[in-house]
Amino acid sequence: MGKKRAPSVQSGSPSSISRAIRRNDGGDARATRRDTAERQRKLPLAPSTKPISNGRQHQVRGKKKGKEPEPESESEVEESEAEDEDAEEVGEEDEALEGSGSDEEELHAKDLGFTDDNQSWLKMKKGNTNGLLSSEEEVEEEEEEDEDDEEEEDGEGDEADNFMSGESEESGKEVADEEEDFEVGHEGDQDEEDEAGDEGEEEGPRPVAGLASGLKERIEEVVDILSDFRARRKAGVARAEYVRQLGRDLSEHHGYLPELTGMFLTMLGPAECVEFMAANDRPRPLVVRANTLKTRRKDLAQALVKRGVSLEPLAGGWSKVALKIIDSQVPVGATPEYLAGHYILQSASSMTPVMALAPQPHERVLDLSAAPGGKASYCAQLMKNTGLLVANDLKPERQKATIANLHRLGVRNAVVCSYDGRRLPSVMKGFDRALLDAPCSGLGIVARDQSVKVQRTLADVRKMSHLQRELLRAAVDCVDAGSKTGGVLVYSTCSVAVEENELVVDYILRARPNVRVVPTGLGDFGRPGFTRVAEHRFHPSLALTRRFYPHVHNMDGFFVCKLQKLTNALPGKNEEEEGAEAKGKKRKQMRDGGNGESRGNETRKGVQKGEKGEEEAPFRIKKKKKGSQPQGPVRETPQSTAETTVAESRVSGQATMSSGTNSERDGPLVEKKDKHTRKTESKTPKAAGEDVVKEGKKKSWQSKQERGRHEVGEGPKVSNGERQKSEQKSGRPKESQGIPVGRKGKKAKGVMSS
């Protein structure tokens, strides 16, 4: 590798981007010059239960070095004001804990001449299916009606305003009182007999009499009572009183803002909420992702074992590139292998969106919010450094870390730029795939950042939800539905809040009825998304989305949704352009047939003549309008290459100075130790929802509708291997790859130079 060195992050003029993309070198050795002294700390971790032993290598079981384990990674919570938005962003830095991989990785490795043939590592377990908290079946006719009602009334922020607030204004529907809220989604929890006793609508710390005085004991006691309320309740005490008591106690015990506890209770129910909060007080395992652009997992494992790292593959075998670090004699973020870009610290949860996206070689892939590049680099890995990866992020300063990481990992097919993601469709579109790993509240990564417990509010969650909707709209608009290989996008967050997840997806199904939810391809790994929670009733296809929880999967809380774009045109004017009247009509129309079912006989590649809606041109970059300047610095001068090199060095320098950092993260990072070795409840990913969709593309719209209905709640139908084959067969030839080209060869604005 690395006969000659090319910039791993492309920029400048489109033609130079194009040229650079075609270069074929390893060019990342310089990454090893960076990030050294900072990572001198060790990562004492819990003892291995299933260490890797590769025959010749003796596993070194880690010994505690007298230091307390640190969380694997820092969770960065950052806020940004995005020009016209008050949306507070909370950026997750998610190269940390567990890892994942995919069949794509294996295939990729083979193509590169790397194989990971230790099948015992990779054997997938058929996991039991996690129970659906809410599923298609749960959505009844009357709920559909409720949905329609909601649609009629909603504005962009209406749902948000009502959500979890206890301020539902829905008429004709029973107002969700606290008692009801806390029970939604938990089968068997809904008792009617307590209605009479529920007089406690007004808030106030009125302790339920007769309960244990100790906090912990009282929590246990109340959970126990609520688990069989009818039998265990004290006479005259309403369920709501117990729930309120529990909320207060949990908030105090775990140190959360009460409103957050209320949200979790609503979503998870009493018993599970307790587990969730307890899990948030434990660190997640440290996981690394082998960078198959440079090595194979087996070789990496051997090298790390030699250095005194105790590791093992992830439980369930769902990743072929991830290694869980059990213990280490050396700082995992500062080994020569790390510095050489042979791996990245990345949480398992963080890998799932990329697995779902399944970017293919030679495709054009967009990561709308890429910094610091954890998922983008995984995309490049799956793309085998071919095609084009546009790694965008609002914040130029965060993109320095992206550039550094992409360099270190030997990524050569990336363009790094810095636009407000919401404006990207006016800059470039026509991508085969897009990833929106959205800025979020970080309510899934509390274990990494305990400050979230008191700093995040429901108001923040609402703000994030608003920004997320706008970004998701943009993501949809950037994707080319006519892509021969893709036409898909993935939406993910590191939040467990319904408002940032299902509500956002439910919104996009209305705002962009030319998309539909498809299986993630992660099989039964993860829990299905909610289709109902509190007063909300979501489209049944939300059950195809996946949720990951710390207390269930021993992973960061994460949400993953895969969407297929069916047509480039909307069956009507863009929502933004519509008047309120038309809005309601269209929504009703869409809803009547489920997601997009009212789209008549549109074909996937376009719309029927006479139908309104903009047909998107294939990949193009529009000339930037005045006033829509990207926020990022645009280095377009001939000196830009040198500048970026310097910038990169500066980034490295910063990282180097911050001792023990995890350089996957932006800015000074704290490498955290972990002794938590609980196994994940990983399930075998065997789905290929995309295949199902692809198959659907060939058939009539009506057939698609039928199939769409059939897919909901149904397991995956096609193996990843089959998906790979089918996707690769249809892979577009290199010549036809679109390269972002500005008008008359002008450079793309916002592109960071290298």
Ligand X SMILES: C[S@@+](CC[C@H](N)C(=O)[O-])C[C@H]1O[C@@H](n2cnc3c(N)ncnc32)[C@H](O)[C@@H]1O
Active site residues: 494
- Per the CB < 8 A criterion, the answer to whether 704 and 518 are in contact is no
Report whether 267 contacts 261 (CB < 8 A): no
- Shortest CA distance to 551 belongs to which of 468, 436, 444? 444
Beta bridge partner(s), residue 288: 323, 345
Q: 373: annotated binding-site residue?
A: yes
Alpha-carbon Rg for the chain, nearest whole angstrom, is 25
Helices 374-382 and 348-357, interaxial angle, to 10°? 40
Q: What is the DSSP letter of 49?
A: S
- Supply φ then ψ for residue 467, to 5 degrees: -60, -40
Shortest separation between residue 695's beta carbon and ligand X, angstroms: 30
Of residues 134 and 495, the one with the C-beta less far from ligand X: 495
Whole-angstrom Cα distance, residue 205 to residue 258? 12
* Cα 537 to Cα 139: distance, rounded to the nearest angstrom: 8
The Cα 480–Cα 487 span in angstroms is: 5
In the bound state with ligand X, the residue whose beta carbon lies nearer, of 471 and 590, is 471
Q: Is 359 annotated as a binding residue?
A: no
Of residues 404 and 688, the one with the C-beta less far from ligand X: 404
- With beta carbons less than 8 A apart as the criterion, state whether 238 and 265 touch: no
- Minimal distance in Å, beta carbon 395 to ligand X? 4
Q: Position of tokens 């820092």?
A: 74
CB of 614 to ligand X, least distance (A): 22
Interacting residues with ligand X (CB under 6 A): 80, 82, 89, 91-92, 94, 350, 368-375, 393-395, 398, 420-422, 437, 439, 471
Say if residue 400 carries a ligand binding annotation: no
> Is 375 labelled as part of a ligand binding site?
yes
Based on CB atoms, which residue is closest to ligand X, 164 or 409?
Answer: 409
Residue 371 among known ligand-binding residues: yes
Smallest gap from Cβ 359 to ligand X, in A, equals 13
Non-local CB neighbours of 277 within 8 Å, separated by 6+ positions: 250, 253, 254, 256, 261, 264
State yes or no: 523 annotated in a binding site.
no
Residue 700 CB, shortest distance to ligand X, in Å, is 37
Q: For residues 371 and 91, what is the distance between their CA atoms, to the nearest angstrom?
A: 9
Closest distance between ligand X and the C-beta of residue 91, in Å?
3
Residue 375 or 604: the one with the smaller Cβ distance to ligand X is 375
CA-closest candidate to residue 105, choices 316, 355, 366: 355
Please, which residue, 444 or 487, has the CB nearer to ligand X? 444
Q: Which long-range contacts (CB under 8 A, 24 or more apart) does 15-23 make?
A: 15/741, 15/745, 17/388, 17/415, 17/739, 17/740, 17/751, 18/739, 20/412, 21/386, 21/387, 21/388, 21/412, 21/413, 21/739, 23/412
| Annotation: binding site | 369-375, 393, 420, 437
Annotated binding site for S-adenosyl-L-methionine: 369-375, 393, 420, 437
